[in-house]
Amino acid sequence: MDARQARCRHFLSLLDLSAREARGLLARATELKGMLKAGEEYRPFPNRTLAMIFEKSSTRTRVSFEVGMVQLGGHALFLSARDTQLGRGEPIEDSARVLSRMVDAVMIRTFDHAIVERFAAHSQVPVINGLTDRLHPCQLLADVQTYLEHRGDIRGRRVTWIGDGNNMCHSFMEAAQLFDFELRVACPEGFEPDADLHAAVAGRCSILHDPLQAAEGADLIVTDVWASMGQEEEQARRETLFAPFQVNDAVMSRAAKDALFMHCLPAHRGEEVTASVIDGTQSVVWEEAENRLHAQKALLEFLLLPQA
Ligand code: CP
Ligand code: NVA
């Protein structure tokens, strides 16, 4: 590892940030959002390039990173694994060595979390996890920013996750630790989140199998698709098993009166959430999606500009 590699910060997990850094980053995200809405130009990245490697589909992640780089005065490259040598078996390590000599940061969306870790270990520039089977940390930056903007500090609040113990659930578990809130996970038997991760955050995260009980007194209710990308063939089986875990009006009525509803999107109305909830007054899903842009601009600034 050379000196540049050793100095480089990556964002593979929320826990790559300290609590102080994470809070500062979210405050900056809201500030950048205000600047954009006020029409203020801010272009700290002339001639800087972000490479974006996608091995899975994306709407929000791709557009928010690409638009974010343009707004910051830089450029983003969309690289599909199918159309690059990565898809023809070029080793991850070699791809990291080559790309990181040309670009200023790399975002990767892939399957196995070990891929982003191997890429980062051989990269001279910051690597950002744009979603793996294990974690989706960029989404959590936007989600916590959205909570803050609506209800203030999330510290000490009760968040209820209803559905699969998947990548989003794992990132909520890490967020509970980083931002110091209580997380209740309600999932079908056999779809619990990773046991080691649960052990690491056990003081802040409980796992239940009753969604109504889990929703009791919650300040925020969150769900996600029942079958994630890569699990398409399990869709039919999961629809049966997850049916009792739909977020509907009965679930929301157990939460606090001013509880918010979030979903990282894309959503399936009539499956994990009813239209009455996602399109209802407690839902903040559109701002949650918009905040991907602002939170990731703050992240790019944090990773690419020297910190004071
Ligand atoms: N929430 C999210 O990451 O959306 P995309 O899959 O569209 O990027
Ligand atoms: N859990 C979902 C999140 C999509 C943004 C998936 O991995 O497909």
Instruction: Examine the residue annotation and report whether 296 is marked as an active-site residue of this protein.
Output: no
Instruction: Give yes or no for residue 1 having a pLDDT over 70.
Output: no
Query: Do the domains at 3-136+290-304 and 137-288 have one common CATH topology?
Result: yes
Between strands 158-162 and 127-129, the pairing is unpaired
Find the 252 Cα to ligand 1 centroid distance in Å.
24
Average pLDDT of the chain to the nearest whole number: 97
Q: Which residues of 164-188 are buried (b: 16+ CB within 10 A; e: fewer)?
A: bbbbbbbbbbbbbbbbebbbbbbbb
* pLDDT for the residue numbered 202: 86
Ligand 2 centroid vs 255 CA: distance in angstroms? 24
The 10 Å Cβ neighbour count of residue 279 is: 12
Q: Which of 136, 161, 194, 272 to mutate to test the pocket of ligand 2 (most atoms within 8 A of CB)?
A: 136
3-136+290-304, which class in CATH? alpha beta
26 CB-near residues (< 8 Å, 6+ apart): 141, 144, 145, 148, 295, 298
Q: Where are the domains positioned within the chain?
A: 3-136+290-304, 137-288
**Statement: residue 7 has pLDDT above 90:** no
Per-residue pLDDT tens for 247-265? 999 999 999 999 999 999 9
Whether residue 187 lies in the annotated active site: no
CA of 169 to the centre of ligand 2 (A): 10
**Which band of pLDDT confidence, cut at 50, 70 and 90, is reported for residue 14?**
very high
What are the pLDDT digits (tens) for 190-245?
999 999 999 999 899 999 999 999 999 999 999 999 999 999 999 999 999 999 99
pLDDT for 306: 81
pLDDT digits (tens, 9 = 90+) for 178-191: 999 999 999 999 99
- Quote the tokens at residue 163: 């559905």
Among 131, 140, 224, 291, say which to mutate for ligand 1: greatest number of ligand atoms within 8 Å of CB.
131
Residue 122 has pLDDT above 80, yes or no: yes
Atom 1 of ligand 1 has which residue's CA nearest to it?
264
Instruction: Clarify whether 268 is annotated catalytic.
Output: no
Catalytic option among 139, 177, 246, 296: 139
Q: Looking at the domain 137-288, which fold is it?
A: Rossmann fold (3.40.50)
CA atoms within 13 A on the CB side of 165: 21
**CB distance 138 to ligand 2 below 6 Å:** no
d(CA 26, CA 152): 12
Q: DSSP strand E in the chain: where?
A: 49-54, 75-80, 105-109, 127-129, 158-162, 182-186, 205-208, 220-223, 260-263
What percent of the chain is predicted at pLDDT more than 70?
A: 98
